[in-house]
Structure 1
């Protein structure tokens, strides 16, 4: 993994540095990347202080912890990570902490997807990736389960404020249920079901809303495709009337745009929400606003 130089302070994943001094009377929480930080902030509310390890604009597949991160996590009461293989460093990291915080695997209880895209099994297209797909949060249905896991962790750690956590969780779940309904209704009658994406990050979204992803790259966005993969995808695009090739903002869009140019189709953003860009932070974006844009872009591409 690419090591990034340690900055003078850790930045919160939502953009903006967070004071890491433990506030009196608040549960100290450390999360590994933006979607978990979002859940911790929304559910913890005024009773928690959340810090995110991965800085704004950094792709989590490219990040690994530094020695100062060990100290940050060791001083927390809760450490929330995604699991499902996203944080390949987490087991060794937690061993280095010793008697540290209670750990929460946010993806616990979600039916995980194999890392092999369905198309790969058919010998057609797709990157040669193995293992488990860790991108659970990209589906509102999975995000609801993750929210439940984070809520339960707060209640177990700080039962004195359960009423607050329950209220915050109820409000968040209502919004996630509405987002789920919007995706289900909004994608129910689209004329196409295939999406060509730069990064194999949308398996849970596709499973839950009846789509099929054709990825240029694998589970990690730096998993380079084979030349034959690119030829197969270009052929797939032409033969199946695909109008849009999706790229994401935290990684290079070069392959997606090259492929789109060769196939004479357009490009658009489909955001896997692995982190926010500085521009998104400045605009006040969050999980909901970005997922709404994802839905709009999917509907436009699949109409």
Structure 2
């Protein structure tokens, strides 16, 4: 009887040992892979981005595995942005900061790098050959735009071309795979989907704007250089030195518009439209509101392309 009892105990212990060994093995695999239980507790990955279009790309690629916060909130302008203490505290708790090359990032990067050594900082435009900023001049006049790109500096608005946005989405996908290998298949599938959608969007806009290729439009803020380059348009800035145009500059703009047949002026909702509308009245033209910072990236670009195609004919 006693011998049978100990045989039963040994049998139970052997089964328990197998369970323990199996559990330890699973945990080891999970930790070695940088995922499973050890990482699952950290999902969703806390991510910060500088502007709304970048948040759109990260959300599309990352899905439910990321939680995205934005530095420049809706209605804000990168030209006047300064981070709040609350934002900096949340940024310190983030895993990744995706930047895109807008000027305000340069001002805060030294502080971030110094105080947040554990934050993974990724420039999504690093693989893009950026163009020099658009010529912000009228005939016989020089102009510098210090808030965006001084003469000779590079235009940061790379996301305004869908095919360049596709490259940035790829950088986001590769970064998320590196940080969270367990989500690789999800990130790759999501990237392929948005890449196909961006390529299709590019094809539709190209077809839509083909009829107005070579046309010129006034832009209050020169944020549309990559969009214009991609689809054969030209932009001329209303701003003079990053400021509202003076009365003399307004006169030059109106004369230029009449000589070249310019009938469209593009404005951002973040900037005053008063001067733009006065120019439009003087040249019998139209004002188009085009927000380069809109979150709904694809719908935004296609809507404006359709409007421009009708007005630039």
| TM-score bucket of the superposed structures, by smaller chain | 0.7 to 0.9
Measured against aligned partners, the alpha-carbon deviations of 1:52-108 in whole angstroms (never above 9, x if no partner) come to 122222122221112222221111111111115352423233234231311111111
**Unmatched tracts of structure 1, length 5 or more:** 1-21, 277-285
| Higher CA-based Rg | 2
TM-score by length of 1: 0.81
- Structure 1 position 192, deviation (Å): 5.2
- Structure 1 position 302, deviation (Å): 1.4
Residues 69 and 123 of structure 1, relative CA distance in 2, 3 Å threshold: same
Equivalent pair of 1:40/1:150 in contact (CA under 8 Å): yes
Q: What is residue 294 of structure 1 aligned with on the other side?
A: 304
**RMSD between superposed Cα atoms in Å:** 2.3
Residues 264 and 197 of structure 1, relative CA distance in 2, 3 Å threshold: same
Residues 125 and 167 of structure 1, relative CA distance in 2, 3 Å threshold: farther
* Cα distance in 1 between the residues matched to 2:110 and 2:130: 23
Higher RCO by CA contacts (8 Å cutoff, separation 6 or greater): 1
* Cα distance in 2 between the residues matched to 1:259 and 1:253: 10
3-state SS of 1:165 partner: helix
Q: What is residue 35 of structure 2 aligned with on the other side?
A: none
Equivalent pair of 2:218/2:266 in contact (CA under 8 Å): yes
Residues 23 and 240 of structure 1, relative CA distance in 2, 3 Å threshold: farther
* Cα distance in 1 between the residues matched to 2:178 and 2:107: 26
1:128 is the counterpart of 2:144: yes
Residues 226 and 142 of structure 1, relative CA distance in 2, 3 Å threshold: farther
Q: What is residue 274 of structure 2 aligned with on the other side?
A: 254
Q: What is residue 4 of structure 1 aligned with on the other side?
A: none
Q: What is residue 216 of structure 1 aligned with on the other side?
A: 238
* Cα distance in 2 between the residues matched to 1:287 and 1:187: 18
Aligned residues: 268
Residues 47 and 223 of structure 1, relative CA distance in 2, 3 Å threshold: same
Aligned partner (choices 2, 6, 27) of residue 45 of structure 2: 27
3-state SS of 1:137 partner: helix
Residues 156 and 216 of structure 1, relative CA distance in 2, 3 Å threshold: same
Aligned partner (choices 223, 229, 241) of residue 201 of structure 1: 223
TM-score by length of 2: 0.78
Measured against aligned partners, the alpha-carbon deviations of 1:204-238 in whole angstroms (never above 9, x if no partner) come to 1111111110111269xx53335544333211211
